[in-house]
Structure 1
């Protein structure tokens, strides 16, 4: 489990296909305190540390993960939002995040709003019923509050976010431009609601 509060930005400095995609990520963590087999959320995707050095760790990214996450996310030079797994007793500063990406959205618009950046994200129709104003959502691993939503005629939804200076300075969100894909994870309560609705429709 995670909270969506980013604690480092890592950079993929090597990536190669070995059946699954094998990536080495440079970071600023004290890797002496990170165990082999530990979970680290990488721009919203929970991955397992397979080896490590003083300032890097490696992960294997399955074909399933590659297919379900934003395009070109797992390439050399890409910067990733990093968060280590939640420990008992840690402050829950964001919301409960599983590190399982539910879908890929697209930045539909970006504009300055005061000192903040106002983003409009287009989310797929499958996620539209589970995105609500004042609800929580995870974008590229960052816990955020939905400020507004507008259902579209094709079943998709556009939702608004305000990114304050601290957030875009401490994450990769400030780099996003219209057209960029982003990893989305709906709130865990909405995930269970989704499953309940699926089960109900199958029984009817």
Structure 2
């Protein structure tokens, strides 16, 4: 698990069938088998190399995330080592398992912050987005400032420290980002759907409309 608090900005590039991630000195030393979030993607250290590591990646990871494209141009990536039980949870619980890609719709510099507007490429994930909720963007724990009715488009107020100490300042309109929804929202949805009378433990009911009346009738009021 991770917290979404970036500890370094490094680079990623292809090394044969593996990815080489550099720039891990701020949280070194790494050991074989350690987990590191790279732009929000949980990668396992297969070999330590200088101030970074080599990692094996599956076709699924390359297809679902931006790492393949970034590696082709030695792009900047946000880095965070795995959470230790004694660490402070300064962000939110981030699994390092990307749900899908998003697209930058607007980047606006304000007097004391930046307004970043994004959209899910798959709008169905918008159901996990709500105002003041948490979302991980390229591995960064951020708070949703507002969103469309279906949550597929949302915007974030980014403070100067986050803007300057992560890769966010590289973003431009049209850029792709890795998005991970709040895991608590995902589990809450599944528990609510499973609470229907007669539903089996392995059978979800995505066609149910969860309303305040439904919640009250099923003991969630």
TM-score of the superposed pair, with normalisation by structure 1: 0.89
Counterparts of residues 30-49 of structure 1 (less than 5 Å): 33-49=29-45
Partner-residue secondary structure (3-state), 1:6: coil
Greater fraction of residues in helix: 2
Q: 1:97 & 1:28 partners in 2: Cα distance?
A: 19
**Separation of aligned partners in 2, 1:84 and 1:111:** 30
Q: Deviations over 1:118-144 (max 9, x none)?
A: 011011322111100000000000000
Which of 185, 190, 203 is the matching residue for 1:190?
Answer: 185
Larger Rg: 2
Q: SS in structure 1 opposite 2:124?
A: coil
1 CA distance for matches of 2:124 and 2:61?
18
Query: Are the counterparts in 2 of residues 30 and 55 from structure 1 also a CA contact under 8 Å?
Result: no
Does the residue aligned with 1:137 lie in a helix, a strand or coil? strand
Number of equivalenced pairs: 197
Displacement of 1:28 = 3.9
Runs (5+) with no aligned partner, structure 2: 195-202, 209-221
- Equivalence for 2:212: none
Unpaired runs of 5+ residues, structure 1, are: none
Q: How does 1:1-204 map to 2 (within 5 A)?
A: 1-12=1-12, 14-18=13-17, 22-29=18-25, 33-70=29-66, 72-123=69-120, 124-151=122-149, 157-196=152-191, 197=193, 199-201=203-205
Note closer, same or farther for the CA distance 1:90–1:200 as it changes in structure 2 (3 Å cut).
same
How far has the Cα of 1:46 moved from its partner? 0.2
Aligned 8 A contact 1:66 1:74 in 2: no
Between structures 1 and 2, the one with greater strand share: 1
Per mean C-alpha deviation after superposition, the further-off stretch among 2-11 and 27-36 is 27-36
Equivalents in 2 of 1:7, 1:50: separation in Å? 20
Runs of 4+ in 1 over 4 A off after TM superposition: none
